[in-house]
Structure formats: structure tokens, C-alpha cells
């Protein structure tokens, strides 16, 4: 029996995911989904659907209206939206970008509000208020006010500095300029002043400031070439074209100023590749699509100027809609620290309550019967106990460390500067240093489990280089001399004989040049001739230099290589192409261009040579070329072997072939070709079928090998990070073949890796989900969770999955709703219940399927997700965060990576080819991917170790300091009297014990940076939270309790029955306070010395300087002079000089410090000897490691005939420029005068009117 649940999880066989398609189903409407999947439906249903769609279309059409050159139009009441209470504002966003949090008016109130959201700060504010109540407090108000003001002040200054930096960056973007129509003329305006409906002019190499409708440009037919690297990471050019009507009429400035067209279109959304709208002008409606829209973030290329009208501005633009929400990021240690503060609160309340009960009992037994203790107040013992509860809350308040948060901020700020100053992460080629753009996440860098990396521009340089080739069975590209003998040293080929050489190609095989120039082997010349003629590249000549604009970087690299080898593509018209062949210019008739698409994986051109012969030249992926070769191809196997070698070297390969065509064959084929070209339905399929007829019985000429150059040091960095147990996932919008190729290049994948694809794991996951559901059905109390692995252990596996399969597997793909004849009856209670139950079941299935996918993916050593959208990148990161509870890092360089960078716990931006969008949204920015290993393994690990050591010590010193009051309570009737004087309590955390712990938090390191990189396994302690957790917290608590016992009871025992050498008794309360305080300061500072791994002069000075500072300040505060000036505040007059001249007291201090420190020394010695950590082992042998060995890249072992991987040629993600070339729309013609154009259009309009 087929259940409803089964039908919900079954994959739709009719709509298998397309690996080549970039899915955008997260925002697709039901209508769009249905238009993609036409199906047969009953006639009545069709009538109902069309009627409903027409009504919905009318509603949608008017949802977003833009009128050119009319700002008042957008202020009308129907375009207003309510914001706060009854206030209204326009729904059209301004173009200013805002990332800052404060302005001069809101800074103080908002910052204080944010700071008092921290429980500790709010607690101390309440404490300060309590200290003003005389019946409660035994401490002066300034003991809390001074530290609180210091904490609030330091944090506010830091927040102010951060926000000023954000203001500057916003201003830099918002103050960029472009030309805008004002008062009938183009005037320079700032980006932030642009509004919806403005007509703007953009010049060559300018960024597009908003989403605009292209109206006209300097190019023929108002073409505009743009680079979309900021949007999708692709640096190849794409072309946009204005509507024909605006191209004809909107060329002059006056016409632009008078333009009053209305654009009706969809609401702002994040779909980068879709746009639906209509231009209404002069009573006519013109359709608009994505090819006519320039998106914010694009860059104008090869177009002198263009004009456009702003449709979406600022936050409404597609790039901003893809950016995702800015998330408040906190570290794992931050969360843990807050829970520990809550634990301390509970301890504080329990201890205070216990002591308050003790005081109540003491009052009943002793206080009421002792007349000399009467204070003039007739309070009952329970009420006195209640007052003492609050008194102890105040006295023991230092258990909750007020300076903890500000100290943490200071340490993080210092660590951020160390990252900024690290010269080993400086990239000199672009003068780019590493930058910590946030100061709150440094220690989280030492706890990363997963890295999610973009490919293009992050792992690669996005530069394609011609490396090797195979011509007529002979492989070229090794370092050889003119005779073909291998050379020991590389000597670059001199291309100075070629006037068109660009001088940038590094090639070392002189043998190929010799064969090419002597002209004996015609196949060599024909090889480069094919590269020069079989393409859709367009050429632009500026300053006498040829500039190629290609639909993909690979195609550009091949045409450039042909140019350097003497076959330079010079120009083309609609039907011809001109090439310089070894210095001789020849023009060929182009009879047909058989363009590339993702199914064909090849392209061909048919040309007529000057002698009248017709030839077809073809290039494409070897898998499709080999199927179409002539049965007799002598070089088939040798070329296959060369392809295997190229593929094993992770080069991107491409096969070249040709075919002679007779005139009669061409004429017959051309007739079919022309018929297919004008087909009204299924034109693409008809053309592909015609192409197949001519592209057969091809003669193999050879193969090319292109290197998609990795950034320097990427394989080494990935290897080091893998040894640190960090898993790396690659998330890219690029093709599957290209992504897989880079996986091999950077050694994420090896020949021993078993690769699983989306179609492989889909059935596996579906079976697992069905089994889990059956298990739940059979036993309602059982859990869906299962820990059974998906794969057998022992094999090295990798997962490569496309965006379409990702949506299918994760049940993110929207289902087409079956629209039957709708009779609107109210639902019964039973129907509503079934609907809710069905929806709940579907949500449960979806969550379980996502969990299963994450479990399966995490069993793989590497994961590559290709053809994924920005939202999908963020979704993958979110799933790993949600189901693995792991710390994640995302790294990218383009605007398409922003969402992922914001979603991950830590975002890293690469200052690369694709602008600054990723860097602006990141937490850290680097010049190159390879610096990530130093950022994590050195700075991240050090930051984590320092922060953990700082927190353990900080809690310890505060417990040791505060709990002395607890032991003292048993001897003072639980009266909330303090052991120390008020000024010691005020300055303990501010001056006496702050500097050593701060310096350890800033400077300490267990091993050097070189050893940290050499032994990546040291990083694992941070991933496992070994250095700071609840166990370590309670160890610090117990250590503090023991220290406080020693600090109190050794002086107490020494003072119990003691007489000084001068006959005076030094055992008064004030002398005892000085002894206990002195023992505490020396003990906790010495303890910090024991915890220090990396000694410098600064550390030593801070420890001994803090002790000296304590004694110096104490003698000043106990002097008679200050008591005369402030008698109420300084009551320990003469105590320090009197007490500290007693040798007996010094012996007591020394004994207390020794008893505190010696057991710690003994324990440390035993642990390092018996249970040494990895860090201890490396420290012990660090002298042996002084001779550092360079990491040697593992040599790939090639076994002939075994490698089956094909390194497919990476064509562009869209069709090439073939249609554009064939139509002639890109060819410059003499433009008709404006009057002639107007007369022509009026005549056309008249004819249309007569016809209608």
C-alpha cells in the first residue's frame, strides 16, 4: 500500500535535477514553477487556471511602479507604508547603505542600554544602588562605582572606535559619484542621493550604483558589456542589451531628460538571474527581462558610456537582498562564560543566604544577650538576618568579577592588533595586510571544526594559463631545446619574433616553436589556426593593442595562446573573421557558428577558405568528441594517453578536431540549418539535431591543457588544516567538472578517493528515511535518530553535489501544486486536522532528511557543492551549525559569498579580484587563502590558549580574594564585616592583580609559531574544549577556596597568641587585614608566574611591579597625611608601617605564600612527567626542532591507463556570443540622425495603427 508519506518523499522521476543549472527555487513563485513544468490538464481546469492567473497578474503588475525623472510620483499615498505607530514613509528605499549602529545623538543611550543588557553590568548597577542604603552596606559606594565606570568607559570607547570605522566605510561607498539627470542636464551626484526613477549615466570601468534598466549605450544596438564578479564570482564578460525603443529614441541628453516612461515590475527579490517587467511609454507596452537589467555591483566594461533608469535602490537591490541579515556573533567561550557567571550568582545567593541564617541564629543566641553589642536599633534577629543577606551580597560581590568583561575586551583588542601587524600574513603584490575587522571572535579561531570555502578567487587566482598540448600524438610543454632534448633548467621561450605576442605567456618548450616556424608539420600550424578561428571571442583595439573579451576565461586563454604562437585573431564581422597567420593576414567567410551549450559540451565553426574549400573546426570535451570521431584516427590512443597525463596533473583538457565538407553536403545541411533557425517551437532542440548531423566523422587533431592557477600555497594550507582535524567543504557557483578539477589540484581529492555524486546518495538517503519512518510507525516510542554509518569505514570518500540535487535531497524544492477545479466549500474540522497533520509530517521528514544528509556528508573527507546559489551556501553552513553543533568558518571573496560569511560563526573575506563586498561583511580579511593556516593554527590557537588561561586564573584570583570574607564570618558573628580595608577592595582588580593576567592573555605562548605550524595536531585541544570548561571552572573554584583558607587561617593561627618583639601585640584587626592582603597579593601574582609559559621582561616586570605597586600604594594610604585630609575615607592610619616592621609577620606571609604555591609546583611537575600533553611534549623537544624542514608537497603517483578521471573543458555558464555575432548586432554601423530615426518610428507607428 502506498502511503501519503511515501509519496511525499519520493523523488519526481520526471524532473531529475540538472547539474548545469543554478537553482533559484528558494524564491520561485508557483506560477514560475508551473511554467517550467508544462503538463496535460483538463480543459475546464485550464480555463479556471487562466482566469485565476489573469486576475493574479493584474494584481502583481501594479505592485512595483517606477516613473522616470519624477521623484514626486513615488511619494504618492499608495506607495507609502506605515513604519512606527502612525508614521508613514515611501516603500522605495533610498540608495544609501547603512552598516553603522550609532550616531552622535544615539551613541550614549544605546551603548549604555547594550552594556546593561550584560547581566554582570546590570548586577553591579543594582549593587551600587544597594550600597547607598545605610542599613545594608558595610562597604563604601566608591568600591563599586570606580570599577563600574572604568568597565563602561573602556567598552564604550572600543564600540565608538569600531562604529567610526563602519561610518567611514559607509561614507566611502555612499559618496561615490555618477551622472544623474537634474533640471534637464546630467549633473554629478553622490550614490546616496540617487533615488528610484532617476536617469543616470555610467562610464567605462564604473560600478553600477543601483539596479537599473539599460536605456542606451555607446555600443551598436545599445549593447553593454558588464563584469559580474561581485555577484556570481565570474570574471568573464556578459552582455546586456537595451529595449529597441529606447535604443532608437534615448541617445541625446535632451531626450533622456524628457523620458517619462513607467516601469511596472515584480517586487524587490534576491533572484539574480530573473526579472519580469513591462515598460509603458507613449501608449505602448514593451516587455522587460533580466537581459535588460544592470544589477548593483556589476562593472561596466568595454562600453564608453551607458544610460539607465533606477528601478531598485539601496536595500531593495538584488545584491543587498542576497546579503542576508547581519548576525550578532558571540564566541563559544562567551556563552560558557555567561553560564559560569550565572553559576557564581547562584553560589553567591546561597552563601549569602547561609551566612544570613547564621547571623540570625547568632543574634538570637549571643547578640541579644550581650549588652555591649547594642547598636541603638531594636530590630528582630530575623530582620537583622534579612539585612545581613543584602550586606553579604555587597561584601561578596567580587565573586562576580566586574572587570572580567572589560579585561576580555582589552585582550581581544590586543590580539586583533597582533593579527593586523603580522608581516607573515602580508601580501606584497597587492599591498594587503591581514585585518581583524572585529575584535570579539579571536579565540574562536582556535576552535574551528569546518571551513566552507568559495572556489573562484579564493582557492584559485581565476587566471587561466595555457600549459601543454598534444598535436598529432606528440606532447609539448616540457622544458626542451630546439632539438627536442629535455633541459635541466627552464628557459622561457622568446616570442619577440611575433609582433602580436602579448609577452605574458610563460612557455618552455622550444621544440614546439621550432616546428611551428619551420612549417614542416602542417598539423602544428593547423592546431593553432583552429584555436584562432573556432571561438566566440570579441576583440577590441585600444592604443594599438588587441584586447580579447571572452564568454569564459578558458576560451580567452586559448585564443591568447594562439595569438602568442603566431595565429592572432584580429577582427570579425557578421560573416567573416580575420586572422594573422605567422604575419600574413587572411580573411575567412564564416558560414555558421554551432554554439556551445551545457548538453553539447562543444562548439564548432564552418568556414570557407580563400581557395573555396569548406571546413568544419570543432573543439569540446573529450567525452563528446571521441564519440564523433571517424573510425580511422591513427592518433586516437596516443592522444588518449596524453589526456590521461594532463588529467592526472589536474589540467583542464579540450580536444580539437576538424572535417572537410563538400559543397553539396554543405548546401544540403545549410538548408536544414536555416529551417531550424526560424522554427517557431523547440528551436534549440531542432538546432541541436541539425548540429549533430554535421558534427560526425571528425579527424582528431590534438588536445590542449589549461591550468586554472591555484593561489600559492593552497595545497600546503589545506594539508596542514586537515592534519589539525579541520574539514574543508568547497561551495561554488562554478560547474561540476571545474569544481572537481580544482578539488584534485588542491589535493582535497586524490586518485584513491571514492567520489559520490548527488544521484548516488539520493537513493541512499531516501532508503534511510523510509527505514526511519517505518521504525517510528512500528514503535511510536522509538526515536528517528540512528547512529549507523552510511559507509563502511576504511575508505577515503568525497561528496560532489550540485545545487539542483541539494534542493532535491533536502526537500527544499517547491512542489507543483495540482490545481484542480476549485469549488470553494469551507473545510471541515476533520479536513483541517488532516492538513495540519500532513504538514507536520512533511516538516518532520524534511528535518530528518537534512540531519541524515549532514551525517552522511560529515562521513566524507571532503565535500564539494557546485552550482549553488548564495542562499544555498548559507543553508549548508546553517545545517552543519544546527545538526553538528560545530564551530564553522566561511571564506570567500565575492558578493555571492556574503550570505555564507554572515551565517558562519566566523567569516573571512579575501581581498581579491572581485571587489570588497565580501571583505566588508567579514570578521577577518586576508590577502591570500594560504594565510588562513597561520590565522588559525598560530593566532587562533594562541588566542584560545591565552583566553582560557586568563579566565581560569581570573576566576581563581577572585575566589581566593573574596572567600576570605566567608571564613572571617565565622569569627565576627556573621556581621558582614570585611577582612580588608575598603581601598584594597577597590583597587585589587583594578591595579594590584590586573596587569600580570592581562599580559599573559596578550603575550603567552606554549610553543613558537613555527612549531605551531609544524605540529597542527596541537590545534585539536581547542576543538575539544579541553582548556576551558565547567571542569576547569570548578578546579579554579576549589583552588580559590583552598588559597582563601590558607590566606585566612595561617595568619589567624599566627596571630592567635602572639606578642611582638617590642612587647606590643600586632594581632589587631587592621594588622591582620594587612597581613592577609599582603599574603594574597604575593600568592596570586606568584601563581600567575607559575602559569606563564613564555617569559619576557614585560611579564617579569608586571608580576614584581604589581607587588611593589601594592606596597607603595598601601604605605601612602596608611600615612598620616592622607588621613588628615580625608579622615572618613582613610582609617588605617599607620597600620602598614607598624605591622610590616615585625619579622614575625614577614615569616607569616612567606609561610602563607609557600603553602599556596608549593603544592601547585608539585602537581605541575607530576602532570608534565606522568601525563604530558601534546604541547608539553613539543616544548620538551623544542631544541630538536630548531632545524625546521619545509613541508614537501606530496608527489602524485601516475599509473598509465588507470586514471579514469576526465578533466572537462570549462566553457562559460551561459551560451557564448554566437547569436550576437551571427545577428550582427555587435558590429558598429554609422548611426542615423535623430530626426531620421524619429520619422522612421512615426511611420512605423502609423502602419501599426492602420493594421490594428
Residues in the chain: 1252
Strand order in the sheet with 237-241: 237-241, 223-227, 299-301
Q: What's the distance, CA 210 to chain centroid?
A: 23
CA distance 739 to 733: 9
DSSP 296: T
The number of beta carbons lying within 10 Å of the beta carbon of residue 1190 is: 6
Distance, CA of 225 to CA of 220 (rounded, Å) = 12
Neighbouring-strand partners of residue 1172: none
All cell numbers assigned to 804: 539542483
Spell out the residues 6+ positions from residue 354 whose beta carbon is closer than 8 angstroms to its own: none
Largest CA distance in the chain: 131
Report d(CA 698, CA 602) in Å as an integer: 13
* Rounded-to-integer distance, Cα 772 and Cα 783, Å: 8
Q: Which residues contact 258 (CB under 8 A, 6 or more apart)?
A: 69
Q: In angstroms, how far is CA 384 from the centroid of its own chain?
A: 59
As a whole number of angstroms, the distance between CA 1148 and CA 1077 comes to: 12
Question: CA of 1101: how far to CAs of 437, 999, 1105, 1108, in Å?
Answer: 32, 10, 5, 10
Helix 941-969 to helix 404-421 angle (10° resolution) is 160
Q: How many CA atoms lie within 13 A of 695 on its CB side?
A: 30
CB atoms under 10 Å from CB of 674, counted, come to 11
Q: Which helix (H) or strand (E) holds 179?
A: strand 177-182
Active-site amino acid positions: 454
Q: At what angle do helices 107-116 and 142-174 cross, to 10 degrees?
A: 120
In three-state form (DSSP H/G/I as H, E/B as E, the rest C), the secondary structure along 965-1034 is: HHHHHCCCCCCCCCCCCHHHHHHHHHHHCHHHHHHHHHHCCCCCHHHHHHCHHHHHHHHCCCCCCHHHHH
> Parallel, antiparallel, or unpaired for β 299-301 and 223-227?
antiparallel
Closest CA to 1099 of 1170, 1191, 995, 1186: 995
Q: Residue with C-alpha cell 570585611?
A: 978
Angle at 727 between CA 722 and CA 732, to 5 degrees: 115
SS3 assignment, position 41: coil
Sequence-ordered list of residues with C-beta below 8 angstroms from that of 432, at least 6 positions apart, any chain: 426, 911, 925, 926, 927
CB burial of 969-990 (b: ≥16 within 10 Å; e: otherwise) equals beeebbbbebbbbbbbbbbbbe
262-265 and 64-67 beta bridge pairing: antiparallel
Supply 842's cell numbers: 512533511
Residue showing cell 605574458: 504
SS3 label, residue 1109:
helix
Q: Report which of 253, 266, 144 is spatially closest to residue 199, judged by C-alpha positions.
A: 253
User: What contacts 1055, CB < 8 A, 6 or more positions away?
Assistant: 1066, 1067, 1071, 1072, 1075, 1148
- Are 137 and 391 in contact, with CB atoms under 8 Å apart? yes
Pairing of strands 88-90, 80-82: antiparallel
Amino acid at each position: 500500500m502506498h502511503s501519503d508519506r511515501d509519496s511525499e518523499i519520493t523523488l519526481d522521476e520526471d524532473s531529475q535535477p540538472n547539474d548545469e543549472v543554478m537553482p533559484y527555487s528558494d524564491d520561485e513563485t508557483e506560477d514560475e514553477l508551473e511554467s517550467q513544468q508544462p503538463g496535460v490538464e483538463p480543459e475546464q481546469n485550464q480555463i479556471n487556471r487562466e482566469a485565476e492567473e489573469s486576475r493574479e497578474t493584474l494584481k502583481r503588475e501594479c505592485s512595483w511602479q517606477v516613473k522616470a525623472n519624477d521623484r514626486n510620483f513615488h511619494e504618492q499615498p499608495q506607495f507609502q507604508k506605515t513604519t512606527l505607530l502612525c508614521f508613514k514613509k515611501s516603500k522605495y528605499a533610498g540608495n544609501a547603505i547603512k552598516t553603522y549602529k550609532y550616531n552622535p545623538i544615539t551613541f550614549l543611550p544605546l551603548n549604555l542600554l547594550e552594556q546593561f543588557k550584560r547581566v554582570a553590568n546590570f548586577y553591579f548597577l543594582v549593587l551600587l544602588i544597594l550600597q547607598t542604603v545605610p542599613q545594608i552596606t558595610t562597604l563604601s559606594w566608591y568600591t563599586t562605582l570606580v570599577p563600574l565606570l572604568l568597565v563602561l568607559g573602556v567598552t564604550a570607547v572600543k564600540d565608538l572606535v569600531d562604529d567610526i570605522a563602519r561610518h567611514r566605510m559607509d561614507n566611502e561607498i555612499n559618496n561615490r559619484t555618477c551622472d544623474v539627470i537634474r533640471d534637464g542636464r546630467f549633473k554629478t551626484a553622490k550614490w546616496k542621493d540617487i533615488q528610484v526613477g532617476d536617469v543616470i549615466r555610467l562610464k567605462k570601468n564604473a560600478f553600477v550604483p543601483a539596479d537599473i534598466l539599460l536605456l542606451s549605450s555607446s555600443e551598436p544596438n545599445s549593447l553593454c558589456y558588464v563584469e559580474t564578479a561581485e555577484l556570481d564570482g565570474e570574471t568573464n564578460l556578459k552582455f546586456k542589451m537595451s529595449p529597441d525603443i529606447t535604443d532608437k529614441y534615448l541617445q541625446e541628453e535632451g531626450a533622456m531628460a524628457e523620458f517619462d516612461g513607467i516601469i511596472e515590475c515584480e517586487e524587490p527579490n534576491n533572484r539574480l538571474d530573473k526579472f519580469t517587467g513591462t515598460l509603458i511609454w507613449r501608449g505602448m507596452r514593451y516587455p522587460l527581462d533580466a537581459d535588460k537589467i544592470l544589477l548593483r555591483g556589476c562593472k561596466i566594461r568595454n562600453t564608453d558610456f551607458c544610460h539607465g533608469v533606477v528601478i531598485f535602490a539601496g536595500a531593495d537591490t538584488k545584491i543587498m537582498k542576497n546579503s542576508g541579515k547581519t548576525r550578532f556573533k558571540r564566541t563559544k567561550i562567551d556563552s560558557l562564560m555567561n553560564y559560569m557567571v550565572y553559576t557564581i550568582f547562584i553560589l553567591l545567593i546561597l552563601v549569602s543566604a547561609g551566612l544570613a541564617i547564621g547571623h540570625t541564629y547568632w543574634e538570637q543566641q549571643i547578640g541579644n544577650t550581650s549588652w555591649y553589642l547594642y547598636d541603638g536599633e531594636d530590630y528582630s534577629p530575623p530582620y537583622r538576618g534579612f539585612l545581613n543577606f543584602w550586606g553579604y551580597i555587597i561584601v561578596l560581590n567580587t565573586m562576580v568579577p566586574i572587570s572580567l568583561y572589560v579585561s576580555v575586551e582589552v585582550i581581544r583588542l590586543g590580539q586583533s592588533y597582533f593579527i593586523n601587524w603580522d608581516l607573515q600574513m602580508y601580501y606584497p603584490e597587492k599591498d594587503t595586510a591581514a585585518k581583524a575587522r572585529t575584535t570579539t571572535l579571536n579565540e574562536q579561531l582556535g576552535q574551528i571544526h569546518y571551513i566552507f570555502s568559495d572556489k573562484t578567487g579564493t582557492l584559485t587566482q581565476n587566471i587561466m594559463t595555457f600549459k601543454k598540448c598534444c598535436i598529432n600524438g606528440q606532447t609539448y610543454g616540457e622544458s626542451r631545446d630546439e632539438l627536442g632534448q629535455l633541459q635541466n633548467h627552464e628557459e622561457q621561450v622568446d616570442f619577440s619574433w611575433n609582433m602580436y605576442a602579448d609577452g605574458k605567456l610563460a612557455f618552455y618548450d622550444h621544440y614546439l616553436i621550432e616546428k611551428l616556424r619551420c612549417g614542416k608539420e602542417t598539423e602544428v600550424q593547423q592546431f593553432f589556426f583552429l584555436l584562432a578561428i573556432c571561438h566566440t571571442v570579441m576583440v577590441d583595439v585600444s592604443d594599438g593593442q588587441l584586447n580579447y573579451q571572452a564568454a569564459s576565461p578558458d576560451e580567452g586563454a586559448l585564443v591568447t595562446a594562439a595569438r602568442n604562437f603566431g595565429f592572432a585573431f584580429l577582427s570579425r564581422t557578421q560573416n567573416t573573421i580575420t586572422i594573422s597567420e605567422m604575419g600574413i593576414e587572411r580573411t575567412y567567410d564564416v558560414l555558421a557558428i554551432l554554439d556551445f551549450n551545457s548538453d553539447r559540451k562543444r562548439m564548432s565553426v564552418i568556414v570557407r577558405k580563400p581557395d573555396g574549400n569548406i571546413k568544419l573546426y570543432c573543439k569540446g570535451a573529450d567525452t563528446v568528441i571521441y564519440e564523433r570521431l571517424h573510425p580511422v584516427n591513427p592518433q586516437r590512443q596516443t592522444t588518449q594517453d596524453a589526456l590521461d597525463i594532463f588529467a592526472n596533473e589536474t589540467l583542464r583538457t579540450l580536444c580539437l578536431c576538424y572535417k572537410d565538407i563538400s559543397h553539396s553536403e554543405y548546401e544540403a545541411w545549410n538548408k536544414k540549418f536555416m529551417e531550424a533557425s526560424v522554427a517557431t517551437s523547440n528551436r534549440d532542440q531542432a538546432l541541436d539535431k541539425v548540429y549533430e548531423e554535421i558534427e560526425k566523422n571528425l579527424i582528431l587533431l590534438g588536445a590542449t591543457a589549461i591550468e586554472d592557477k591555484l593561489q600559492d600555497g593552497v595545497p600546503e594550507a589545506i594539508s596542514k588544516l586537515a592534519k589539525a582535524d579541520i574539514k574543508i567543504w568547497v561551495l561554488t557557483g562554478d560547474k561540476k567538472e571545474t569544481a572537481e578539477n580544482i578539488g584534485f589540484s588542491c589535493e582535497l581529492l586524490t586518485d584513491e578517493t571514492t567520489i559520490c555524486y548527488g544521484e548516488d546518495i539520493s537513493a541512499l538517503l531516501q532508503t534511510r528515511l523510509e527505514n526511519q519512518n517505518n521504525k517510528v510507525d512500528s514503535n511510536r516510542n522509538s526515536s528517528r535518530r540512528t547512529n549507523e554509518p552510511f559507509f563502511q569505514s576504511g575508505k577515503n570518500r568525497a561528496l560532489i553535489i550540485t545545487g539542483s540535487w541539494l534542493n532535491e535531497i533536502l526537500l527544499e524544492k517547491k512542489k507543483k501544486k495540482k490545481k484542480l477545479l476549485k469549488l470553494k466549500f469551507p473545510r471541515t474540522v476533520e479536513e483541517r486536522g488532516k492538513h495540519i497533520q500532513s504538514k507536520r509530517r512533511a516538516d518532520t521528514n524534511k528535518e530528518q532528511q537534512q540531519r541524515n544528509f549532514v551525517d552522511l556528508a560529515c562521513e566524507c573527507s571532503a565535500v564539494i557543492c557546485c552550482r549553488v546559489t548564495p542562499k544555498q551556501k548559507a543553508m549548508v553552513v546553517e545545517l552543519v551549525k544546527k545538526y553538528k553543533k560545530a564551530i564553522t568558518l566561511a571564506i570567500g571573496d565575492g558578493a555571492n559569498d556574503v550570505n555564507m560569511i554572515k551565517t558562519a560563526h566566523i567569516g573571512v573575506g579575501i581581498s581579491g579580484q572581485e571587489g570588497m563586498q565580501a571583505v566588508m561583511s567579514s570578521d577577518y580579511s586576508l590577502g591570500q587563502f594560504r594565510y588562513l593556516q597561520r590565522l588559525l593554527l598560530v593566532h587562533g590557537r594562541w588566542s584560545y590558549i591565552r583566553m582560557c588561561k586568563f579566565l581560569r586564573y581570573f576566576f581563581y584570583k577572585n575566589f581566593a580574594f573574596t572567600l576570605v570574607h566567608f571564613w572571617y564570618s565565622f569569627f565576627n558573628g556573621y556581621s558582614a564585616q570585611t577582612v580588608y580595608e575598603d581601598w584594597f577592595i577597590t583597587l585589587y582588580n583594578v591595579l594590584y592583580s590586573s596587569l600580570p593576567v592581562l599580559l599573559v592573555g596578550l603575550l603567552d605562548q606554549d610553543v613558537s609559531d613555527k612549531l605551531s605550524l609544524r605540529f597542527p595536531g596541537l590545534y585539536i585541544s581547542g576543538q575539544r574544549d579541553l582548556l576551558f570548561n565547567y571542569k576547569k571552572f570548578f578546579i579554579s573554584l576549589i583552588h580559590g577556596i583552598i588559597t582563601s583558607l590558607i590566606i585566612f587561617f595561617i595568619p589567624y593561627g599566627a596571630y592567635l597568641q602572639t606578642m611582638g618583639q617590642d612587647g606590643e601585640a600586632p594581632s589587631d584587626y587592621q594588622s591582620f587585614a594587612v597581613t592577609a592582603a599582603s599574603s594574597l597579593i604575593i600568592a596570586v601574582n606568584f601563581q600567575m608566574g607559575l602559569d606563564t609559559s613564555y617569559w619576557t621582561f614585560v611579564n617579569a616586570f608586571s608580576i614584581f611591579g604589581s607587588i611593589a605597586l601594592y606596597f607603595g600604594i598601601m604605605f601612602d594610604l596608611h600615612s598620616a597625611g592622607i588621613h588628615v585630609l580625608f579622615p572618613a575615607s582613610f582609617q588605617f592610619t599607620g597600620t602598614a608601617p607598624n605591622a610590616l616592621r615585625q619579622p614575625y609577620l614577614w615569616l607569616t606571609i612567606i609561610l602563607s605564600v609557600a603553602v599556596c604555591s608549593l603544592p601547585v609546583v608539585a602537581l605541575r611537575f607530576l602532570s608534565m612527567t606522568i601525563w604530558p600533553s601534546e604541547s608539553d611534549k613539543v616544548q620538551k623537544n623544542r631544541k630538536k626542532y630548531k632545524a625546521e624542514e619545509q613541508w614537501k608537497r606530496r608527489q602524485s603517483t601516475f599509473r598509465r591507463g588507470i586514471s579514469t578521471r576526465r578533466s572537462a573543458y570549462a566553457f562559460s555558464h551561459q551560451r557564448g556570443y554566437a547569436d550576437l555575432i551571427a545577428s550582427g548586432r555587435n558590429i558598429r554601423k554609422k548611426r542615423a540622425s535623430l530626426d531620421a530615426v524619429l520619422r522612421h518610428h512615426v511611420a512605423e507607428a502609423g502602419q501599426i495603427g492602420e493594421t490594428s
